Structure 1
Amino acid sequence: MNLDLQGKRALVTGSSAGLGAATAKLLAAEGAAVVVHGRHEDRVRAVAEAIRANGGTADTVVGDLAGDEGAAAVARAAAAHGPIDILVNNAGFYRHVSWADATPAEWSDTYNVNVVSGVRMIRHLVPGMRERGWGRVITIGGGLAIQPMNAHPQYNATLAARHNLAVSLARELRGTGVTSNVVSPGAILVEATRDYVLGLAPDRGWGATWEEVEPNAVEAFLPNDQQRFGRPEEIAAAVAYLCSGYAQYVSGATIRVDGGLVRSAF
């Protein structure tokens, strides 16, 4: 399927690794000029070079979105070679802490990075989309927004906020040609996840090879219909669809890519 992204320029925040990198690479493969963003220049450069080696177009921007000045600088740099048509708010983080250890400062820091940073980028880049009459804002959310666990409560709550703000933005953008939607991943197999699971496997009796370990780990932690972790490319594919002209009628929606982890009819 041709998603017709030629001539579009996309900024994917937090795209120096994991889901963001996979998304940047797929959007570039579909013809978009991609801006790869992160806080570490070497990692950002590596993703951009991989895109160019595959025939795509990629620029880079390094900066921290957790402050007003840093976010403004990233927005200016991203638009230096042309206006941004697609904003993928992917950047975020969490620390695995309990309720007892999640201090008010931890809540505030997580909310700033995971929610307010995305708002900063929306404020900088969406007005131009409105003026041009076309744009896409994709927020990366997560199943913990609606099905939270007891651990890292501060992170669960920020995912809920990300879902909520994306729908509010969709209502704000009514009739402008700009859409706002959410892609909600389940448990996705990135390098850190694989290392963590393999570290637990011997004591849990999950097996010796990844083929043995994966279904056992999924059943123990995150049982889903596909009995595996998702892959970053599967999230990227959902984002790419929402960026395309085929998704112009999709507004304020959440596309769950979680193997059936969230067990809800709606």
Structure 2
Amino acid sequence: MDLKLKGKRALVTGSTAGLGEAIACLLASEGATVIVHGRDQGRATAVAEAIIAAGGAADIAPGDLATGAGADTVAAKARQGGAIDILVNHAGDYHHLRWTTASASSWIKTYQANVLSAVRMIKRFVPAMRERGWGRVIQIGAGSPVRPGPIYPDSCAAVAARHNVAVSLALDLKNTGVTSNIVAPGAILVPGSKELLEEVAPQYGRGDARDEIEVGCARDMVPNDVGRLGRPEEVAAAVAYLSSVHADYVTGATIWVDGGPARSAF
């Protein structure tokens, strides 16, 4: 299927590794010019160079979105090659905190990094999308808005706010040609999660084989209906669809890429 992304420019925040990198690479393979963002310029450059080496088009816009000044810097760099048609808000900062360790200041920091970072990008790019009569805004969410747990309370609340932002924005964008949607991954096998699974495997009596560790995790820690963890490319595929012209009739929606736990009949 031709997603008709050739000629489109996409900014993927937080795309120097893991899930964000997979999204950037897939959009580039579909013909979009991708602007790679992250706080580390060297890592952003490496991802952009890999995309170019694979035949795609990419540039970088490094900076810290947790501040207004940082967001201004990122926006200015992203616009240097032209207008942004697709905004994927993936950047975020999460900490392994509990109610007993998450201070009020850490809640504020988490909200800044995970909610206001996205709002800042929306404020800087969506007005021009409205004027052109076409655009895509995609929030990368999670399952925590409908399944919050006793741990990571600040992160769960921040992700829930990201989902809320996307739906509110969709309503505001009525009849503009610009859509706002959410892709909500479940447990995805990225380098960081691989290391964590290997670290905790002995606590669950699992062996050393990675396949065995993954299946055990999908059974005991993050149960789902597929029996494994997701892959970054599977999340990226959902983002690519929502970025395309084939999703003109989809807005205010959440696509769950989680193996089934968020299932709902309505």
The one-letter amino acid paired with 2:159 is: L
The answer for the alignment partner of 1:69 in structure 2 is 69
TM-score by length of 1: 0.98
The answer for the alignment partner of 2:15 in structure 1 is 15
Q: CA deviation at 1:264?
A: 2.9
Q: Structure 2: how far apart are the matches of 1:143 and 1:158?
A: 12
Q: CA deviation at 1:203?
A: 3.3
The answer for the alignment partner of 2:148 in structure 1 is 148
The answer for the alignment partner of 1:121 in structure 2 is 121
Spell out, residue by residue over 1:202-260, the C-alpha distance to the aligned partner (whole angstroms, 9 max, x if none): 23211120111111112111100111110100000000000001100001000000001
SS of 1:144's partner is coil
Q: Structure 2: how far apart are the matches of 1:113 and 1:12?
A: 15
Contact 1:28 1:57 (8 Å CA) reproduced = yes
Spell out, residue by residue over 1:175-195, the C-alpha distance to the aligned partner (whole angstroms, 9 max, x if none): 010000000000011101000
The answer for the alignment partner of 2:178 in structure 1 is 178
Which region of structure 1 is more displaced relative to structure 2, 203-212 or 224-233?
203-212
Q: CA deviation at 1:261?
A: 2.2
1:254 to 2:217 alignment = no
The one-letter amino acid paired with 2:191 is: E
The answer for the alignment partner of 1:37 in structure 2 is 37
Q: List structure 1 runs of 4+ shifted beyond 3 angstroms.
A: none
1:210 to 2:210 alignment = yes
Q: CA deviation at 1:97?
A: 0.8
The answer for the alignment partner of 1:27 in structure 2 is 27
SS of 1:121's partner is helix
Q: CA deviation at 1:67?
A: 0.4
Q: Structure 1: how far apart are the matches of 2:46 and 2:225?
A: 35
Contact 1:14 1:20 (8 Å CA) reproduced = yes
Q: Structure 1: how far apart are the matches of 2:181 and 2:265?
A: 19
The answer for the alignment partner of 2:78 in structure 1 is 78
Q: CA deviation at 1:262?
A: 2.0
1:52 to 2:39 alignment = no
Aligned-pair identity (%): 58
The one-letter amino acid paired with 2:129 is: M
RMSD: 0.8
Spell out, residue by residue over 1:76-128, the C-alpha distance to the aligned partner (whole angstroms, 9 max, x if none): 11011100000000000211111011111011100011000100000000001
Count how many residue pairs are aligned between Structure 1 and Structure 2.
266
Contact 1:206 1:217 (8 Å CA) reproduced = no
The one-letter amino acid paired with 1:191 is: P
Q: CA deviation at 1:137?
A: 0.1
Contact 1:27 1:34 (8 Å CA) reproduced = yes
Q: Structure 2: how far apart are the matches of 1:81 and 1:227?
A: 43
SS of 1:256's partner is strand
Q: Structure 2: how far apart are the matches of 1:241 and 1:131?
A: 23
TM-score by length of 2: 0.98
Q: Structure 2: how far apart are the matches of 1:182 and 1:203?
A: 34
SS of 1:147's partner is coil
Q: Structure 2: how far apart are the matches of 1:118 and 1:208?
A: 39
Please, which runs of 5 or more residues in structure 2 have no aligned partner?
Answer: none
